[in-house]
Every structure is written in C-alpha cells, then in structure tokens.
C-alpha cells in the first residue's frame, strides 16, 4: 500500500509539472498585438521665403486597436476615406473624397465643403496651431476596405500629400506655407 501511495504522489507531481510547463506564457500562442494596428505620420510644414521663415516637423506612431481610418460610402458619389488620428498633442483629421477611379480629389478645404475636394488638417493643441490644406495633391496606396454591408467600414491605407497650407495661430494670424508628408493608417504589425 505504501508503494502504491508513493507512486500515486509521483504521478500527481509529474502531472502537475507537465500541466504547468505546457501553460507557460511563452507557449500560449497569444499575440500581445492581436487586434492592434500601426498608425504613423511624418509631416513637415515650412516657409522658406520672406521675413517669416520657419519649419515645423511632426512625426509619431501608435499601436492601437482603435480604428482611425474608415471608408464612408455616404460621402461623395464614390465614397471617401476618413481619418481621425490623435497622438500626443496632435490631432490629424482628413476626408479624402474618391473619384470614380478610386483616387482622391485634390486637397482643397473650400471645395471639401461642397464635396468637390479633399480635407487634411493637423491641430497642434500644445501650440494652438491649425494647419489646413488649401490646395495640393494626395496619393493613396495600399487601400484595404473591410468587407461589410455597413455604410461606414474600417479602412487601412497609406497617403502621401504635397500642397499649400494655411496656419491658423493662437493670435488670429493666418500664415501660408507648404506641407509635405505621409500618413499610414491601420497597417498590420509585423
């Protein structure tokens, strides 16, 4: 009886060791980034002429499950890609109205009001500056729109822009400058 009891205790201990070692965190096949996407931006606004020369650069990235890019089929004739990206003290907003061929309309804040142009704005809340595209081009690549019957669906894409921007400052001044950059929305994490 004593031998049977000792063998039973050994069997239970071996079973516990196997059970705990097979459930270690490194072997559980979980991904800490599951459901997360990478969102990043790199933007430069500058004026190199006249007495008011400057260069403002903004860059950053986040890994988040929050969807910052969408496709909204209710905007324009062929839908629009939208952007609502908040990082640190920066807020980037966009509405890129698509043409029949799937390419976005040119950047133009005033034309965006009547759905005939695309919108891109950066709000720097730390300095109370707003950069708003008044003209320019935007190119979208890697566009991937979630398949769904919903009118608004998650979208991932990368955009490049180049254009003229107005800067609205905290003292009410409006300054014209150029702006270039790229924004990656909802990219898979490698």
- Whether 7 is covered by a domain: the verdict is no
In a domain, 24, yes or no: no
**Distance, CA of 93 to CA of 166 (rounded, Å):** 15
Model confidence pLDDT, tens digit, residues 20-74: 444 444 444 445 555 678 889 999 999 987 778 899 999 999 888 778 899 999 9
pLDDT at 189: 66
Q: Is residue 3 over pLDDT 90?
A: no
**pLDDT at position 21, please?**
46
Q: What would the two tokens of residue 33 be?
A: 């980034």
Asked if residue 8 has pLDDT above 60, the reply is: no
CB 187 within 8 A of CB 158: yes
pLDDT of residue 162: 98
In sequence order, the 6+-apart residues with CB closer than 8 A to the CB of 35 are 65
Query: Is 74 contained in some domain?
Result: yes
Residues 86-101: what's their mean pLDDT? 94
pLDDT of residue 51: 75
What residues form DSSP beta bridges with 107? 118, 136
pTM of the model: 0.77
Q: What distance in Å separates the CA atoms of residue 158 and residue 169, rounded to the nearest whole number?
A: 28
In a domain, 18, yes or no: no
The answer to whether residue 154 is domain-embedded is yes
| Cα–Cα dist 145/143, whole Å | 7
What is the pLDDT at residue 138?
A: 96
Please tell me the total number of residues recorded for the chain in this structure.
190
Residue 101, C-beta contacts closer than 8 angstroms, at least 6 positions apart: none
**Has residue 93 got a pLDDT over 50?**
yes
Residue-number span of the structural domain to which 158 is assigned: 37-187
Q: Is 107 in contact with 137 (CB distance < 8 Å)?
A: yes
pLDDT at 10 over 70: no
Any idea which of 24-28, 54-58, 96-100, 138-142 has the lowest mean pLDDT? Answer: 24-28
To which H or E segment does residue 85 belong? Answer: strand 80-87
Of all residues in the chain, the percent with pLDDT exceeding 70 is 80
How far apart (Å, rounded) are the C-alpha atoms in residues 160 and 133?
13
Q: How many domains does the chain have?
A: 1
Q: Are the beta carbons of 152 and 72 closer than 8 angstroms?
A: yes
Kindly tell me if the per-residue pLDDT of 13 is higher than 60.
no
Farthest-apart Cα atoms in the chain, separation:
99
Please give the average per-residue pLDDT across 127-132, as a whole number.
Answer: 94
Does some domain include residue 15?
A: no
Secondary structure of residue 162 in the 3-state scheme? strand
Flag whether pLDDT at 130 surpasses 60. Answer: yes
Scored b (16 or more CB within 10 A) or e, 131-150 reads bbbbebebebeebebeeeee
Rounded to an integer, the average pLDDT of 157-164 is 96
Is residue 2 in a domain? no
Confidence category of residue 190, pLDDT binned at 50, 70, 90? low
The pLDDT of residue 148: 86
Residue 176 lies in a domain: yes
């Amino acid at each position: 009886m004593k031998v049977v009891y000792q063998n039973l205790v050994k069997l239970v201990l071996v079973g516990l060791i196997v059970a705990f070692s097979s459930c270690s965190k490194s072997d559980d096949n979980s991904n800490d980034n599951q459901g997360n996407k990478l969102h990043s931006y790199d933007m430069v606004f500058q004026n190199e002429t006249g007495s008011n020369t400057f260069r403002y650069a903004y860059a950053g990235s986040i890994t988040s499950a929050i969807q910052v890019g969408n496709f909204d089929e209710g905007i324009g004739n062929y839908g629009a890609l939208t952007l609502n990206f908040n990082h640190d003290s920066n807020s980037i907003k966009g509405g890129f109205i698509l043409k029949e061929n799937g390419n976005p309309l040119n950047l133009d804040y005033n034309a965006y009001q009547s759905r005939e142009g695309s919108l891109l704005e950066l709000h720097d809340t730390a300095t109370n500056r707003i950069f708003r595209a008044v003209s320019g081009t935007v190119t979208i690549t890697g566009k991937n729109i979630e398949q769904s019957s919903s009118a608004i669906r998650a979208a991932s894409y990368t955009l490049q822009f180049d254009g003229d921007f107005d800067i609205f400052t905290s003292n009410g001044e409006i300054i014209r400058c150029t702006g270039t950059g790229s924004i990656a929305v909802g990219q898979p994490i490698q």
